[in-house]
Amino acid sequence: MNVNQSTHYDDKITRYFVTATVIWAGVAFLLGLFAALQIAFWPANTGLEWFTFGRIRPLHTNAAIFAFAGNTIFAGIYYSTQRLLRTRLFSDILSRIHFWGWQLIIVSAAITLPLGITQGKEYAELEWPVDIAITLIWVVFAVNFFGTLWRRREKHMYVAIWFYIATIITVAVLHIVNSLAIPFSMMKSYPIWSGIQDALVQWWYGHNAVAFFLTTPFLGLMYYFVPKAANRPVYSYRLSIIHFWALVFIYIWAGPHHLLYTALPEWAQTLGMVFSVMLWAPSWGGMINGLLTLKGSWHLLKKDPILKFFVAALTFYGMSTFEGPLLSIKSVSALGHYTDWIVGHVHSGALGWNGFMAFGMIYFLLPKLWKTDLYSEKLATQHFWLGLSGVSIYYVSMVVAGITQGLMWRAIDPTGKLVYPEFIDTVTKIMPLYWIRFMGGLLYFAGFILMIYNIVKTLQKAPAHIEDSAIANLTNENVKDNEPRRLEGFATVFSVLALIAILVGSVIEIYPTLNITKYVEPNQAINPYTALEIEGRDLYIREGCYLCHSQQIRPMPAEALRYGPPSTVAESMYDRPFQWGSKRTGPDLARVGKKYPNYWHYKHMIDPRQIQPASIMPSYTWLAQKNVDFMQIRKKVSVMGFLGVPYSADEKANADVLAQKQAQEIADDLKAQGVEAKNLEKKEIIALIAYLQSLGQKGVSK
């Protein structure tokens, strides 16, 4: 359809992004169901390396965050920005590059993650070529957005635009800093950060990915779409301004609450906790502002499924942002961290807040973008109730599972012994809850299927040729406003202020840890990993072991009894990436080295049920079949040396030879125990055993 581009909005690009949102939502939900089933029923790991939990779980989180939520925010931002600024997007070509580039990135994630090509950092798993692609496409998005701001007809920037600006700026900073790495092959790299630096940078990124990818853009959408759906202005515009600035300033500091009771310096943990608690105020201010927008129109909620989704989304936002700071209090974190409580918390936000906001927005946009009526409001209402039931069941089951397991881990009897010394006892206890979680997910997915049906039937009624919406009030008087407000009228000034806001917290938190040796106890020293152990470590990362096993013993009596002395800064100072983990579906491994013989590890990898009949760990049979690429180990050691790990010239030059020698020793030991396998010394499982046996064994006293 030929239309005058200067007088019409680009609705086509919004239709593209809405379509992609729906498709990727289905993928993300199915992967989530698959992963949930794998935990409840270990044979669902299939025995195929590409489909084990350790590779499916990052695919699920990436699909949910960057594919589903990502396309949602691009759809909503492109739709609302054009209308709030009364102009077409800056460039149709950039819009298309943005759309197809982003989908290509998602497809590359869908290929690389099952192949085990991962950086091993949660929500930042994608390797360096994809990271570069993300950066380029984000720049395209930024140019297109700021170009639209530059040629807008409406001088004043509505608060939703503020949230979009903060999102674009902050995500760029987070992604670039956390992804800094030195490649050692076409698809693999080591981060420049190590140990506590990497932990701090990763969770500064990880937490703020939640803040600036799953919160601020969705709040921008909320400030636009909730008033639109209710046909009422936002309850308090002043409150929305305070909401924005307080959130942008405070959120960036809160990352270290993911690292409470770890080896991270106490001051950083305290900062993270204090700022997390402070987040209560702006978060609830925003929630109340959104809900009270319906003041006087609550009766609409009875019939309108869109408002049902929005109100439930805001309620989940309130719940999540209450629970988040609660979990950031050290004494609460001591119980909840590493348990399924955190999984429940995350999903109340992702399914309840992001999911329901997305569904409400899609139902709102469908008739407008395809110029037809929604096929069935009744189906949309049924979708809502199924979704609400599903997320509620999911959340409650995981919170109960988390608290139950957390209490079992810490239970000590009057004689000073662990009540549940066998970790597996704390797993089997909560297995029924994993099934209930799966059922909750199924209900949520059933609601989504209803939406798909509703969308298909709606689109069948849409006209063959859909005309873009025309821009009204092309001669907006605000353009001639000679005295625009600084914050509301000057995009550059505003953007710089937002950048300063997020940089202050970032620099103050990260800068002191750049000198990692300052935090290492003077009487401690660490030997770096051997060449074979580095290879084994990369296999540990490839298989996603960190998703179920932590490597960080907290300074608590129960942890000391179960795992040994607390982890130190020194112990992970050469870890690139750090592998402290955030969930214990299995036990902590920080001091597993030399705890069991090599043969135990071999048998455990091939079939965990032979060692522990009730184990839910997948079998890793392929590790005993695939060979190690010894020549690449030399490159790996060389890059590690370049990054400051103290390897001698001999260790770097002969890394492959030294690795083969150590592999032969382990293979000989296994053969002596009765393992019969051809070329055993070349197999990946040998390298992984070498790494596991090194954990907690690298410290030397000066």
Nearer to other proteins, 159 or 532 (CB): 159
What is the rounded end-to-end Cα distance, in angstroms, of the chain?
76
CB of 238 to other proteins, least distance (A): 5
The residue to which tokens 């204090």 are assigned: 274
Nearer to other proteins, 452 or 497 (CB): 497
List, in order, residues 6 or more apart from 328 with CB less than 8 Å away.
Answer: 254, 257, 260, 272, 273, 276, 277
Nearer to other proteins, 473 or 627 (CB): 473
Nearer to other proteins, 494 or 563 (CB): 494
CB of 468 to other proteins, least distance (A): 9
> Token pair for residue 224?
């636009």
Nearer to other proteins, 487 or 561 (CB): 487
- Judge residue 295's burial from the number of C-beta atoms within 10 Å of its C-beta, 0-12 exposed, 13-18 middle, 19 or more buried: exposed
Nearer to other proteins, 511 or 674 (CB): 511
CB of 242 to other proteins, least distance (A): 6
Nearer to other proteins, 509 or 575 (CB): 509
CB of 221 to other proteins, least distance (A): 11
3 state DSSP class of 583: strand
3 state DSSP class of 450: helix
> Token pair for residue 219?
């709040």
Nearer to other proteins, 243 or 682 (CB): 243
What is the DSSP secondary-structure string of 381-427?
HHHHHHHHHHHHHHHHHHHHHHHHHHHHHH-B-TTS-BS--SHHHHH
CB of 467 to other proteins, least distance (A): 7
Angle between helices 598-606 and 655-672 (to 10 degrees): 90
Contact between 212 and 169 under an 8 Å Cβ cutoff? The reply is no
> Token pair for residue 173?
């900073």
CB of 230 to other proteins, least distance (A): 10
Nearer to other proteins, 227 or 441 (CB): 227
CB of 10 to other proteins, least distance (A): 13
φ, ψ for residue 38 (rounded to 5)?
-65, -35
Per residue, the 3-state secondary structure of 586-646, as one string, reads CCCCCCCCCCCCHHHHHHHHHCHHHHCCCCCCCCCHHHHCCECCHHHHHHHHHHHHHCCCC
List, in order, residues 6 or more apart from 434 with CB less than 8 Å away.
Answer: 36, 39, 40, 397, 401
Go through 321-338 and write b for each residue having 16 or more CB atoms within 10 A of its CB, e for each that does not: bebbbebbeeebbbbbbb
φ, ψ for residue 701 (rounded to 5)?
-85, 140
CB of 505 to other proteins, least distance (A): 7
CB of 93 to other proteins, least distance (A): 24
Nearer to other proteins, 206 or 256 (CB): 256
Contact between 97 and 521 under an 8 Å Cβ cutoff? The reply is no
Nearer to other proteins, 371 or 429 (CB): 371
> Token pair for residue 93?
């070509």
CB of 322 to other proteins, least distance (A): 21
The residue to which tokens 């939640």 are assigned: 210
CB of 464 to other proteins, least distance (A): 16
Nearer to other proteins, 228 or 661 (CB): 228
Residues that bind other proteins (CB under 8 A): 9, 80, 83-84, 86, 154, 156, 158-160, 223-224, 227-228, 231-234, 237-238, 241-242, 245-246, 249, 265-267, 269-271, 273-274, 330, 367-368, 371-372, 467, 469-473, 485, 487-488, 501, 504-505, 508, 511-512, 518
CB of 576 to other proteins, least distance (A): 25
